[in-house]
Structure 1
Amino acid sequence: MSSSLWRSALVLGTLALVGPFAIDMYLPAMPAIALDLGVRETAVQATITAYFIAFGIAQMVYGPWADQAGRKPPIYVGVGIFLIGSAGAALAGSVDELIAWRFLQGLGGAVLMVLPRAIIRDMHTGAEATKLMALIMLVISISPMLAPLAGSAVIALAGWRVIFATLFAGALISLAMTATMLPETLSAPRRRPVNMRSLIAGARRLLTDARFMGLTFIGAFGMGSFFVFLASAAFVYTGEFGLSPTGFSLAFAINAVGFFSASQAAGPLASRIGLARVIRLGTGLFAIFSLALLGIALTVGATLPLVVGCLFFGNAGLGLVIPTTMVMALDDHGEIAGLASSLGGTMQMLTGGAMIVAAGPFFDGTATPMIAVIALCGVAAFGLTLATLGVRRA
């Protein structure tokens, strides 16, 4: 694999790392935040929902803007907004203020989802793009493995507010790397002026493309299961299973290893058996293990080893699905890759936020409601895969 591909993966992965760190490093602090601010668990979960909703909405701005102005100017503005949100969150005096600053953080962090995908599409398509996407997944895989542990250490040494100061510093580093190491990948002749007519025409084309929509929502339900897990796991693992913040961080890392290990197989598998078969395999694994875990939880009860083990293999299925659906959804829309990436990302993030809201009334601090929503996402993703890609090789 060429050195330029590794360099691109390092820069884009570091840039994309900031967004996951804003979630993963924050997770162990959620019980402590609820205690410190004197609020219920669901109020702290709202800070996650606010981040995801803003993250989803703002993607609709960054994508078309990047198609018109190039890829780098939106990155500079988005990371700047993220920096302001991080500073405000560190100083928040109430949960309502924290929700507002997290919303602003999400508005800035959205650029970190849209632009790396569009930049990849600028440079590569097909299996080569999947390899680069998987390399980026490898770079950001340190987030679910190290960020919760780092968050636990920060909480123990300095309190939860310093987490946001750390995110501020990380965003500054990624901004410097983008400015000095990332070239502009959208040349002037390929840029498209943004106007309502072109946006409406592009959006209509995407929204009426059954393949694009199907692939987008396959990924959306996969990501939705992650969001529900992110919003609930800290309370389940520390409450029902009695883990410390550090213990939760280790359990969370094990679940994440399944996803990121499998994501590295997505590119080679796509080269051998095709993108469609990779997606069918991944959603099948996700559905089987999430449904098996739900059946166990409803009959004999879920234990910590069973939850961690089944989620490990279910998330391994998602590791095949997420990068592959991202690439496959954009393959036919290279000339509007920014809009396609932002529209797809918006629908995925809003779906994830909606799943958190839908699960909220049923959340009681135990694992079963969380598992049930994850299983629902697994069934929905597999059903959409069959409807979109069929049951036989494309």
Structure 2
Amino acid sequence: MGPALVVTMVTLLTLAQPLATDLYLTALPAIRNEYGAPVSVVQLTLSVLVLSFGLSQLLWGPAADRFGRRPVMLAGLVAYGGGALIGAAAPTIEVLIGARAVQGIGHAACMVCARALVRDLFKPQQGTHVMAQAMSLLAPATMAIPVIGAFITQYLGWRATLLAMTLFALATLTLVVLRIPETVAMRQPDALNLRQLFRTYGRIARNPSFLSWTALNCTGYAAIFGFFSSSAYLFIETYGVARINFGLVIGGASVAYLAGTFLCRRWIARLGITGSVRRAAWMALAAAVIFIVPQLANAHTPVTLTAALWLMLLAYGVHQPCGHVGQASAFPLNAGAASALGGFSFAAAAFLSGTWLGLMFKPGSSAVLALSIGLLSAATGIIALTLVQRHGKPPAL
């Protein structure tokens, strides 16, 4: 496989995530209206996807070591596309929730194999360059996907967003079948020894450095997922924002995140990983203020909520890359297991956040959204200034 094909494959496998979530966001009010389901139930179509993604990561990684990358990629893409197709035809909200859970399982396999392909084929420095190229291709796509989802929902209906995911999975599956060979050099027959695997997970979960970085990423991701999963009702139905304009709000958040990753690269060279996280903490705290203070005055508008969101994403653009590096830094021999356990933790935090906001949703009010996300953003800033500074410095830095 040449580098161009690897970059293309990694980009497509990673693209499964924003397609599964961001393409779908503007469709949530339409889904609620069609099924007549409460917001808390409709929220599960997102929350269950994220939870199944997190849980299945814990086993997809070892499965890819045991059976090879190619079988896991094929199985994951079939599950992803099949779940989306079932969801597009779902006669009830319960079937849609189940289909999205299957899609999340497939999404996890895609993400595991995206990382594994690069690790198999390149030395670390070359691999970093390949990943950077893939992320550069992914960035404009993630900015456009919410707007495309709004257009699809507006003119073709919400089911067409799931059909688009099915077509994406079919195209990627075809590429794997025709062009992608097995990349693992040597399969590991004991990779699925569950006793040994979960003993390793237990040791990682007790490490203060891992816990500090995981807490940082959990609160940050829970805040972002909570906003994304709940804000469509508020913006579209309460404030009367057009679906396409709401798509631009979410797309702008991707731009803010991308800007944060550029800041991260600049700051790390001068401040180190913990110093960069400390500086971004003040942005997270400022975002919390913008979420909370206008709400206390009952003065929120789409503009104030968008400003708070974009500032929070700017901070997350620094915190997330640092968090992924810091999380596994104490476990050079078990980096994959540490990443998988961290991924499960993020998904569980997002599930709880989305479920909470769905249960507490009050039509016509921004209070639950603004105060919940504001507190999570504040927690992110406080963790960055305290636990991460105390326990988070990677041993190698």
- Among 355, 358, 365, the alignment partner of 2:356 is 358
Instruction: Tell me what 1:227 maps to.
Output: 225
> Could you tell me how far apart the structure 2 residues matched to 1:284 and 1:67 are?
41
Q: 5 Å matches for 1:51-130? A: 51-119=49-117, 123=122
The letter for the 1-side match of 2:366 is A
Greater mean alpha carbon deviation, residues 215-224 or residues 337-346 = 337-346
Identify if the C-alpha distance between structure 1 residues 270 and 15 changes in structure 2 by more than 3 Å, giving closer, same or farther: same
Contact 1:78–1:111 (8 Å) recurs in 2? yes
| Alignment-mate amino acid for residue 278 of structure 1 | S
Q: How many pairs does the alignment contain?
A: 390
Q: CA deviation at 1:359?
A: 2.5
- Counterpart in 2 of 1:167? 165
* In structure 1, C-alpha distance between the alignment counterparts of 2:222 and 2:126, rounded to whole Å: 27
Q: Provide the rounded CA distance (Å) in 2 between the counterparts of 1:120 and 1:296.
A: 45
Work out whether 1:209 is the aligned partner of 2:196: no
Kindly tell me: are residues 335 and 179 of structure 1, through their superposed partners in 2, closer, same or farther at Cα, counting changes over 3 Å?
farther
Whole-angstrom CA distance in 1 between matches of 2:277 and 2:180: 30
Change beyond 3 A, Cα 1:304–1:372: same
- Higher mean alpha-carbon deviation, 264-273 vs 243-252, is at 264-273
Match of 1:276 in 2: 274
1:149-179 deviation per Cα after TM superposition (whole angstroms, max 9, x unaligned): 2222222332221211110111223334455
Shift of 1:392: 11
Question: In structure 2, do the counterparts of structure 1 residues 130 and 222 end up closer, same or farther at CA, with 3 Å as the change threshold?
Answer: farther
Deviations 1:367-388 (A, max 9, x none): 2311222222222223332213
Distance 1:175 1:271 in 2: 39
Matches within 5 A, 1:228-307: 228-307=226-305
Q: Quote the residue 2:371 is aligned against.
A: 372
Identity rate, percent? 24
What is the CA-CA distance between 1:318 and the residue it aligns to? 0.3
CA shift at 1:272, angstroms? 3.7
Query: Structure 1 residues 13, 160: closer, same or farther in 2, change over 3 A?
Result: same
* 1:354 to partner: Cα distance: 0.7
Contact 1:54–1:104, Cα closer than 8 Å, also in 2: yes
CA distance 1:162–1:273, change in 2 (3 Å) = same
After superposition, the CA RMSD in angstroms is 2.8
Letter in 2 for 1:200: F
CA distance in 2: counterparts of 1:188 and 1:17, whole angstroms: 28
Contact 2:74 2:173 in 1 (8 A): yes
The one-character-per-residue Cα deviations of 1:315-372 (angstroms, maximum 9, x if unpaired) are: 1010111122112222343433332222111111011101122233322143231122
Which residue in the other structure is 1:146 paired with?
A: 144
Match of 1:346 in 2: 344
Match in the other structure for 1:389: 389
User: Once the 2 structures are TM-superposed, how far is the Cα of residue 143 of structure 1 from its aligned partner?
Assistant: 4.5
Question: 1:283–1:378: 8 Å Cα contact kept in structure 2?
Answer: no
Provide the TM-score with structure 2 as the length reference.
0.88
Unmatched segments (≥5 aa) in structure 2: none
Which amino acid in structure 1 is aligned with residue 30 of structure 2? Answer: A
Q: Cα offset for 1:106?
A: 1.1
Contact 1:134 1:267 in 2 (8 A): no
Distance verdict in 2 for CA 1:375–1:55, change over 3 Å: same
More displaced stretch, 318-327 vs 170-179? 170-179
Counterpart CA distance in 2 for 1:273 and 1:130 is 21
Between the aligned partners of 1:389 and 1:119, the Cα distance in structure 2 is 33
The code of the aligned residue for 1:389 comes to: Q
Q: Aligned-pair distance for 1:50?
A: 1.5
One-letter identity of the residue aligned with 2:37: V
Counterparts of 2:134 and 2:162 in 1: how far apart (Å)?
24
User: What is the CA distance between 1:232 and its match in structure 2?
Assistant: 0.7
Partner of 1:16: 14
- Distance in 1, Cα, partners of 2:283 & 2:116: 28
Question: C-alpha separation between the residues in 2 aligned to 1:285 and 1:391?
Answer: 21
Q: TM-score, normalised by structure 1?
A: 0.89
Q: Which deviates the most, 73-82 or 327-336? A: 327-336
Q: Distance in 2 between matches of 1:356 and 1:67?
A: 32
Q: Which residue of 2 aligns with 1:335?
A: 333
1:56/1:284 CA distance change after superposition, 3 Å? same
Decide whether aligned partners of structure 1 residues 287 and 15 sit closer, same or farther in structure 2, where only a CA change above 3 A counts.
same
Q: Is the 8 A contact 1:52 1:352 kept in 2?
A: yes
Other-structure match for 2:32 = 34
Matched residue SS, 2:203: helix
Contact kept? 2:218, 2:349, Cα under 8 Å: yes
Question: Is this contact kept in 1: 2:67–2:187, CA < 8 A?
Answer: no
